Amino acid sequence: MARPWQAELERARQAASLADWSAFQEEIDRLLARWGNHSDALLDASALLLPIGELSQAEALLQWCHQLEPQAAAPLQNLANTWLQSLRQQQAMQLYTNLAEHQPQALQPLANALMALGYGIDQPAQASRQLAQRWAQRVLAGVQPGRPLEPEPVLQPGQPLRLGFLSADFCQHPVGLFLLPLAEALAARPDVELWFYCNSPRHDWLSEQLQRCGHWCSVRGLSDQALAARIRSDKLAVLVELGGHTAGSRLAVLAQRPAPLQLSWLGYWATTGLPLDGVLVDPLEVPPGTPEASSFVEPLLWLPKTRWVYRPVLWMPEVVDPPCLQRGWITFGSFNSAAKWNGPLLRCWAAVLKAVPGSRLRLKNYQLRDPGLRQRLRQLMDAEGVAPERLELEGPSFHQDLLAAYGAIDIALDCFPFNGGLTSCEALWLGLPMVSLAGRDQAAVMAARQGLALLELIGRPQWIATSVDQYVTIATTLAANPQALQEIRHSQRQRIGASVLCDEQGFADAWLGAVVQRLPSGSRKPIELS
C-alpha cells in the first residue's frame, strides 16, 4: 500500500540522483509541511537525508519521531546511525548496545553495533567475534528445520561449476567495482556459470556489466525463506555472500544452508559469526597465527597475495603535478567516510599539520555537506592547535569530480583503525603517496591492515607506520621533498599497473583455486589450475 507522502518521496529521490539539491529540499519541506506529525513520514524523510550527508536535519527529524513514538526502536536505531557518521561513535555504540539488550530477538541492532565496533579505537578482534556470535545465535534460533541438501555431488560430469554471489552492492560501489574484474574473468570460462542475487533497487552501468556475466536475480522484497528456496532451486555448488553485516545484506539467509558450500568475501572485514564453510582472506591483512586469525568463526581460505584486484574506472583523470610546486605549501588530504574519524586519528592529523608549517588538510566526503559536522570538526581540530582556516572541507560530488579533486592534494593520509580501501586505491593510482598506520588486533580485522596490504603490494613499505609517532614522521619526511613528490606522482601509476594489485587473471585463478579446494569431498574438480 502506497503511503500518502510517496509522491514527495519519489520526487525527492529523483532530485537527489541528479544532485538537484534545491529541488530535493523543496520536496522534503513539502512532505514535512503536510505529514510532519506522522512518524513513518519522518522516518522515510530521514532515510533520504542520511545517505546524502544531511546529518543534522536527519537527526532533528528522528528526535521528533522519537517524541511521537517513544517506544519505537527504528527512530533510535537511525539516530545512532547519524551519530556514527558525525564524530559521536561512542554515543552511537552505546545506543546500539541498549537497543540490542532491549530487543532480544532483533538482529539489526547487533549488526549496527558490529559496524560501530569496527570503526572504534582499541576494540579487540575477539570483541567482534563475540558480538557476531550473539547475532548468529539469534539467527539460528529462528531457523525452521527444513529438508537437508541432497547428498548427491554438487558437480555433475560435464556440467560447469554453478557459483552464486549475494549482495546489495552490485552497482558503482566498492564491492561492485572490486567484484567486476573477477566476475568477467570467471564468466569467460566454460567451466563456470555465475548467478547474481541482487538485494538492491539500484541499477547502473556496473550492474549492467555484471548482468552480462551470468544469471541476474532481483531478490529485494523476498523473505529469507523465499530467497533461500530460490537459491536452492538454482542448485548452486557455491554461494558467496559479499555484505556481512553491512547495509542491505541478506546474510541471515545463509543460516538456512541454501547451497552446499557457503563463503564470505570482500564486503565485510571480520567474522560473520555464522558457521559458514570459509572466509577468503590474505596473509597481509590476516597474518596466520595472530589474534586476528583466531577471531574468525569460519575456516580461513587463504588467497596467496591479495583478497581483491583493482581496475581503475574509465573516467580516471590523468596524473597532474603535485600542487605544492605552484602553491608553495603542502596539502594533505583524505576522502574517506567521516564514520572512520575518531579522536586519536584527528589528534594524529593535527600533529602532522603542526609539524609541517603552512600545510593544510583537505577532507572530502558526503557527510561534510552537513554544517553541524563541519563545525564539530573545526572545533576539535582548533582544540588541538590547528586553526580553522587550515582545513579545506568539501561535500560530495560525482565520482569523476571526486577523482579530479585529488589533483589538489600532495599527500594522502589514511584513516585508522579502519583504513581506506577503494579510496586508497584511487589516491595511489593518481600518483599520491599515502601514509597508513597498520593496526593489530582490531575489531575491523582486515580493514585495519588494508593500507599495509596495498602499500606492500605496490612496493611502498616505507609509507607504512606502526605507531602514531612514525605516522607523523613519514608524513613530514614526504612533505619535506617536493621534488620526490613529483617523481612519485608520475611513476606510481606504472608501478601499480605492473603489480599483483592489477593482475586480474592471476587473481581470478588464485580466487577460484581457493574456492575449488573447499568443495565438499566427492565433488569433481572441474577447474584446471596452473
- pLDDT tens column, 8-49: 999 999 999 898 999 999 999 999 999 999 999 999 999 999
Angle at 395 between CA 24 and CA 434, to 5 degrees: 150
Same domain assignment for residues 263 and 289? yes
| CATH number assigned to the domain comprising residue 444 | 3.40.50.2000
Calculate the CA dihedral of residues 175, 298, 122, 106 and round it to 10 degrees. 80
Task: Indicate whether 408 belongs to any domain.
Answer: yes
Q: What pLDDT does residue 153 have?
A: 47
Same domain assignment for residues 194 and 304? yes
Q: What pLDDT does residue 142 have?
A: 85
Same domain assignment for residues 350 and 259? no
CB 99 within 8 A of CB 73: yes
Query: Considering its fold, how many domains does the chain have in total?
Result: 3
| Pairing outcome for strands 331-334 and 411-413 | parallel
CA 154/CA 27 separation, integer angstroms: 52
Per mean pLDDT, which range of 29-43, 130-144, 255-269, 516-530 is the poorest? 516-530
Task: Indicate whether 315 belongs to any domain.
Answer: no
What confidence tens digit (pLDDT) does each residue in 319-362 have?
999 999 999 999 999 999 999 999 999 999 999 999 999 999 99
Q: How far is CA 120 from CA 125, 127, 448, 528, in A?
A: 11, 11, 11, 43
Predicted TM-score of the model (pTM): 0.95
Average pLDDT taken over every residue of the chain = 94
CA 400/CA 408 separation, integer angstroms: 14
Task: Indicate whether 302 belongs to any domain.
Answer: yes
Which amino acid, 289?
G
Task: Indicate whether 134 belongs to any domain.
Answer: no
Q: Which domain holds residue 74?
A: 6-123
The grid coordinates of residue 1 equal 500500500
DSSP state, residue 393: E
Task: Indicate whether 170 belongs to any domain.
Answer: yes
Same domain assignment for residues 237 and 371? no
CA 506/CA 510 separation, integer angstroms: 6
Same domain assignment for residues 475 and 512? no
| CATH number assigned to the domain comprising residue 90 | 1.25.40.10
Same domain assignment for residues 173 and 305? yes
Question: HSE of 143 in the Cβ direction (CA atoms, 13 Å)?
Answer: 19
Same domain assignment for residues 287 and 343? no
Same domain assignment for residues 300 and 337? no
Q: What pLDDT does residue 455 have?
A: 98
DSSP state, residue 258: -
Angle at 526 between CA 523 and CA 527, to 5 degrees: 125
Same domain assignment for residues 335 and 484? yes
Task: Indicate whether 149 belongs to any domain.
Answer: no
Same domain assignment for residues 224 and 356? no
Task: Indicate whether 131 belongs to any domain.
Answer: no
CB 270 within 8 A of CB 133: no
Q: What pLDDT does residue 149 have?
A: 44
CB 354 within 8 A of CB 386: yes
Task: Indicate whether 314 belongs to any domain.
Answer: no
| CATH number assigned to the domain comprising residue 191 | 3.40.50.11380
Same domain assignment for residues 333 and 472? yes
pLDDT(152) > 50: no
- Out of 123, 144, 177, pick the residue that ends a domain: 123
Residues in the chain: 530
pLDDT(200) > 70: yes
Same domain assignment for residues 333 and 305? no
Q: What pLDDT does residue 224 have?
A: 95
CA 206/CA 274 separation, integer angstroms: 30
